[in-house]
Amino acid sequence: MTEHHGHPGPEHHGRSGPEHHGYSEEDVQREVTELEAQSATAARIFDLRRIIGGLFVVYGVIVTIAGISPSDADLDKAEGVHINLWTGLGMLLLGLFFLVWLKLRPAAPPPAVPPGEERRPE
């Protein structure tokens, strides 16, 4: 009996692809579909419009509440203008603008990469 070190046996000749590693084409396609779904979810979650809009809405509510009943000292400093109220309302509008923009034009998922190809940075 002869052994060939470094050479695959006859059972390995001509075998390549996912079946060689114990995965069927269906398993690979299912895995790719799951990864694409996760990527699309991550793209939606970390969309900057969601983060900026959310922060502006939260801070806008806080500043608006602070501006609803200002003290006389605060009004004197601002020369009679309810600056916290107007700033808070402006922040609320800007935050809502970002969130509505996100809702109307959601982020497109990244393009799918065929199995076997690597994504290259552009």
CB 96 within 8 A of CB 54: no
pLDDT in tens, 76-122: 999 999 999 999 999 999 999 999 999 998 877 666 666 666 666 65
Both tokens assigned to 59: 């801070």
Mean pLDDT across the chain, nearest whole number? 78
The domains of the chain are located at 47-108
- Where are the alpha helices (H) located in 1-122, listed in sequence order? 25-45, 48-68, 72-77, 83-104
What percentage of the chain reaches a pLDDT higher than 70?
A: 61
For residue 40, give every residue at least 6 positions away whose Cβ sits within 8 Å of its Cβ, in sequence order, or none.
Answer: 109, 110
pLDDT at 53: 95
